[in-house]
Amino acid sequence: MQMNAQPSKGPARSDNYSSKPSAYEQLGNTSIYWDIAERYANGPGYQYGVSILGKIGNLYYSSTFEREVDNTFWPWETDEPNPGAGFIAALQVNNGTPSYVNALNGTTLNDVNMTTRLEPQGEVAARVVYTLTNTTNQAVTVNVGVWGDIMIGDNDKAPLELLKTSAGAEYGIKMKHDNNSENPPLLCVLFGAGVTGVTPIDDYWFGFFSSNWHANEIVGQYSSTIYNTVNVNGETNNWPSTNSEFYLVEDGTYDSGLGFCWKERTIEPNSSIELSYLISVGEIDFEEPIPDPEPDPDPEPGEDVFTYNVEAYDMADWNNYSLPHMAHVWGEYEHPYGQNGYIEYQVDNETTWTRIPTALISGEDYSLEFPMYFDESVTTTHELRVRFNDGLDNCKNLPGLTWVDVRSYPVSPFINIYEYTGSPVSFVVNVNGEDIIIGGDDQYVNEGTYNVVVAEGAFADNTIGVLTITFSISKPTAVDEISVNNEENGAWYTIDGRRISAPSQPGIYIRNGKKYIVK
C-alpha cells in the first residue's frame, strides 16, 4: 500500500537523557519524573501540558515529542532541554466553546474551574487528576479530553498496541520502543474501567499525531482527518494531509498521537468532581502479579510483590455439609501500577467464581476470610479452587485445597445380615486398609437394624464426611423343604455371600434379605 506523504515536525533530538533535566521532579518514590511548563506542541501551539519522563536504568525517557533545538527551523526555541510538550487537556461547559486548560495555574471557563495535579500510583505510574469545580448555583455538564503527540525515548514512530482484558475490554494504549524484545522501554496510558485510580473514559482515538488537536476535538469530537496547516513563526505552512489510513492502526510505524475524553459529566451546584488517568514509562507491562513463594526482600521498583497462603479452619462440625466451612487467605501484595487485586474462589461443582469483596490494596498486607459450602452429592474429593483477579479480569490460578470424602473409602469384607443367637454380634471390617472391630459387647445383641460409623473425616488429615455401614440381626425362618420357582425374584446366597442357583444341602441361606435354615 502506498502511503501519502507525512508532515515533518523537524528533527527530534534524542530523548534518552543521561541526567535528569533540571526542571523535572521525581513523583514520590516512583520511577516517574514530571514537569508542567509552557511548551510548543505541533497543532495546539504553546500550552501548559503535563510532561512525563520515565527513568529506566540510568536513562530518562521522554513520553511526548520534543524537537531538536534548531534556530533556523524553530527560531523561538532556546538551548534549554525541553523534553516533550506533554499531555494537553481541554474543557467544554454546557456545549459552549471548548478551551485548552492551563495545567499549571488552572483554567476557569463559564464559572467552572479546572485544575491539574499528579500523584504517585504504585512504583512506576503517575496518576493525573483533574478537579472540576462548579462555582454556580445550577448544575452544569462538562466534556473533558486529553491529547498528546506521543513518543517513547528517541522513537517518534514507535508501534502502538491496545491493552485489553481477557474478555477483550480495552483499558489503555501501550507504545513499545520497537518490536525488538531487547529494547523494553514502553509508554502506557491507562484510562479504562477496572484500572485502580482511573475514571473510566467514554471515548478515545490513536493515530497520526496531527489529528484531533483542536480544543473542540480534544473534548470528544474526534475525526480521522489530519490537518495540513501549521503556523511556524507567524507563517502558515501547508503540509500534505492523510486521512483514516493511520486511524486506530496498531503496531504501525507512523508518527503517532492519542486522545481520550470524558463526556457529559454532570457537576452539581457548588460541587466538584475528579477525573483521572495513569501514565507510565517503564519496562513492565500491565498484567497480574504472580505469587512468589520466596519474594525478594528488597525488590526493584516495578517488580511484583505477591505472597499467598491459604488454610481452612478446624471446626467442631467439620463433617456437617449443611454448615459453612471457613477458609483464610493472607499474604503481602504490591502491584507496580498500584492496581487493586481480588481473590476469587470456587468449591466442588461450582462453575462461577465468587469474589471476596474486600480488595487487595497495593502496598498493604492482606488477610481475608470467606465461607465454603461443600456439595454433599460429591462423595469422592472436595476441592477449593482459588485465583487472583487484577480487576480487569486478567486472572492467575493459585494453589487451592482438597479433602477426601471418607464415603469413598473401600469396605471389605462385609456381611449385612447376622443371625440372632442371643449373644453379642462381633465382626471385623476393613475400611480403606484398616481393620475395625465392630461389636464385642452387649450393644449388638437384639434383633434390629444398626448404623455404625466406621470412618469420620478429620480436618488435620484433609478428609471430610462420615462413612457408616448398616447391618441387621434377625432370626432365620426354618424350612424342611424348598421348592424353587425360577420365575421368583431374589437370588440365593450362602452365609459367606456366594450366589447359588438354589440350596442343595443343609445350612443357612439368604434370599430377599431373609435368612432360611435348610435341614
Q: Do 271 and 339 lie in a common domain?
A: no
Which of these, 385, 396, 397, lies nearest to 347 by C-alpha position? 385
pLDDT for res 240:
44
Residue 326 lies in a domain: yes
Mean pLDDT over residues 118-130, rounded?
94
Query: Among residues 260, 269, 280, which one has the least CA distance to residue 130?
Result: 260
How many angstroms separate the CA atoms of 169 and 162, rounded?
10
Examine the domain organization and report whether 218 and 98 are in the same domain.
Answer: yes
Query: Any idea which of 229-243, 292-306, 340-354, 450-464 has the lowest mean pLDDT?
Result: 229-243
Give the whole-angstrom CA distance, residue 145 versus residue 90.
5
pTM: 0.75
Predicted confidence (pLDDT) at residue 76 exceeds the cutoff of 80: no
pLDDT score at 432 = 93
Integer-rounded Cα Rg, in Å, for the chain is: 37
Range of the domain at 418: 409-447+454-468
Task: With respect to residue 509, please indicate whether it lies within any of the assigned structural domains.
Answer: yes
Residues 362 and 462 occupy one common structural domain: no
Q: What percentage of residues in the chain have a pLDDT greater than 70?
A: 82
Decide if 82 is inside a domain.
yes
Q: How many CA atoms lie within 13 A of 480 on its CB side?
A: 0
Beta bridge partners of 54: 32, 61
The label of the residue with cell 472540576 reads: 132
8 A C-beta contact, residue 395 and residue 387: yes
Is 393's pLDDT higher than 90? no
Tell me, yes or no, whether 273 and 124 share the same domain: yes
9 inside domain: no
Q: Characterize 301-331 residue by residue with b for buried, 16 or more Cβ atoms within 10 angstroms of its Cβ, and e for exposed.
A: bbbbbbbbebebeeeeebbebeeebebebeb
Domain with residue 49: its CATH number is 2.70.98
Same domain membership, residue 69 and residue 115:
yes
Query: How much is the average pLDDT of 38-47?
Result: 87
Q: What letter does residue 450 receive in the DSSP assignment?
A: E
Query: So what's the pLDDT on residue 500?
Result: 83
The residue ranking higher by pLDDT, 328 or 73, is: 328
Q: What is the CATH number of the domain that holds 318?
A: 2.60.40
Q: Could you give phi then psi for residue 215, rounded to 5 degrees?
A: -60, -40
